[in-house]
Amino acid sequence: MQGNELVCEQRQARSTGLQYGVASATGMLLTMIAGRLWVGVLTPIELAAEWLIPKLPIGLFEAGLGMFGGYAKPILYVVALVLTLALGGLIGAGYEAMLRRTLARPEKIAAGFTVVLVLLTGVVYLPAFGQGFFGAAATTGGGTTMAVYAVAYVVFGALLTVHSLLSDARGPLGEHNPSRRRFLRRGLVVGRGVLLLAVGAPIVARLLDSVSMTNLSLAEGMPAAFTPVGTFYNVSKNIVDPRVEAATWKLRVSGLVEEPFELTLDQLRALPSETKPHTLQCISNPVGGNLIGNGEWVGVPLAALLDRAKIRPGVVDIKLTSEDGYTDSIPLVKALESGTLLAYELNGEPLTYKHGAPLRLLVPDIYGMKNAKWITSIEAVAEDFKGYWQRQGWDDVATYQIVSQIRVPAANTALTVGAPLMVEGLAFAGHRGIETVEYTADGGRTWRQADLLPEIGDDCWRFWRASWTPNAAGAVRLSVRATDGAGASQKQAEAPPSPSGATGYHDIVVEVREAGA
């Protein structure tokens, strides 16, 4: 009987420890996430993701996007959170086992766990992911980084101790008392839930607002000439996008220049500005995808800042560094080109953090990945600098492919024989513009020219429309193609977004029925 009681007690101890470990790890994670959202210290999960994602082959990266779409990074984040909670549970089980094997006070064991976690983080984990010993190389600085981690680990240890003291009837609460133990455990569960809800709700709400998610669905319906800020596509390398404090932000212009300098946002906004309509498209946009938008941007020409800095001979690229550690570059000749803008407003409002506030780059003819957001540094370099995505194999030139889309009617729309309708869509080829758009309803045997609507701007998408009357019942495939202003035709051969942008004709299938059917 004593043996059975011992086994039951050990199982109960493991179960109790697991529960307390998971609850304590939840408090630790909430502390780390709060540090990320309000101070900017990357969580251990993000550090691991930052290390892993650039090392993925493009094919595997594309497969992940194909399987999970724009939710790939949030799913990765959730999986990592669950694994962290599981690890916390295992630590809690070990903690409970140590309590039962030794006479040490709970707070002493918890303090030991805390010290070990701090040392492992500072000496092993952070250096392994490029942050230096005790976070010395972190963008937030070693002191701030370690302070956030240390507070999180103290929360973990303190919660373990509180759980143990309140639930252990052999502890300071007096002699063995089963009814008191049950009462305290129930109270602890309720109190823990209330506390986590009160503390965690605002943190989770801000986290959900900050998580970077990309809508990879196919586009339908004609867009407005200027995409509303709230629906303008957003893509980044991050799990959680940075929120930069405009009041303390500075832009540094340096490198191979005669006169390096820094500007605050107010100083930048005081410079002569330009307003321009400009379309952005992500290089990950599939054929017919919606990772494209057009806005009216306000900013300062990049050439003006480079002229002020006085570029030295031998400069090849202008390197851009962002608040989130993202890097990229554009050739010097592109940086000096008319239309290359450092933008701080979109559609009449200051940039939102999702779109790169306080400052992002706009470059004619180049996919969005090189139009860096959250810029903090502009550096003239004497090399062809390869940025974050280029080191993974994505195109370093990244010139826009010619794109055309059918937006109306939507795929699988039911139409009627003999009833005319308007087929509408958009086309885009960067600064090269669009010369013609053609569509076919017979598999490409005949192509009909569509009407182009007036241009919105030199670097903007172009809307088109054509009247079409279906003349026979059945499934009909509508396809579209475009020719740019330089006379180049859109590529018919299908290619995935990686490494140079998707190609192929966009098509939809509609169902044509007899009248009255």
Number of domains observed in the structure of the chain: 3
User: Is residue 471, in this structure, part of any structural domain at all?
Assistant: yes
pLDDT at 334 > cutoff 80? yes
- Among 392, 424, 453, identify where a domain stops: 392
How far, in Å, CA of 232 to CA of 242, rounded?
18
**Is 388 found in the same domain as 251?**
yes
User: Is residue 98, in this structure, part of any structural domain at all?
Assistant: yes
Question: What's the pLDDT score for residue 169?
Answer: 40
pLDDT tier for residue 348 given thresholds of 50, 70 and 90: very high
User: Is residue 286, in this structure, part of any structural domain at all?
Assistant: yes
User: Is residue 357, in this structure, part of any structural domain at all?
Assistant: yes
pLDDT at 80 > cutoff 60? yes
What crossing angle do the helices spanning 2-38 and 142-167 adopt, rounded to 10°? 150
pLDDT at 281 > cutoff 50? yes
pLDDT at 181 > cutoff 60? no
User: What are the Cα distances from residue 297, in Å, to 243, 270, 290, 352, 457?
Assistant: 20, 16, 20, 13, 12
User: Is residue 156, in this structure, part of any structural domain at all?
Assistant: yes
pLDDT at 173 > cutoff 60? no
**Is 276 found in the same domain as 142?**
no
- Among 339, 372, 392, identify where a domain stops: 392
Question: What's the pLDDT score for residue 175?
Answer: 44
Domain span at 287 = 229-392
In terms of Cα–Cα distance, which of 391, 427, 403 is closest to 497?
Answer: 403
**Is 371 found in the same domain as 259?**
yes
**Is 314 found in the same domain as 168?**
no
**Residue range 131-155: mean pLDDT, rounded:** 91
User: Is residue 129, in this structure, part of any structural domain at all?
Assistant: yes
Is residue 173 packed enough to be buried (19+ CB in 10 Å), middle (13-18) or exposed (0-12)? middle
Ramachandran angles phi, psi of 433, nearest 5° = 75, 175
How many contiguous H segments (helices) and E segments (strands) does the chain have? Answer: 11, 19
pTM of the model: 0.81
189-210 per-position pLDDT tens digit: 555 556 666 665 676 666 666 6
388-411 per-position pLDDT tens digit: 999 888 999 999 999 999 999 999
- What's the CATH code of the domain at 407? 2.60.40.650
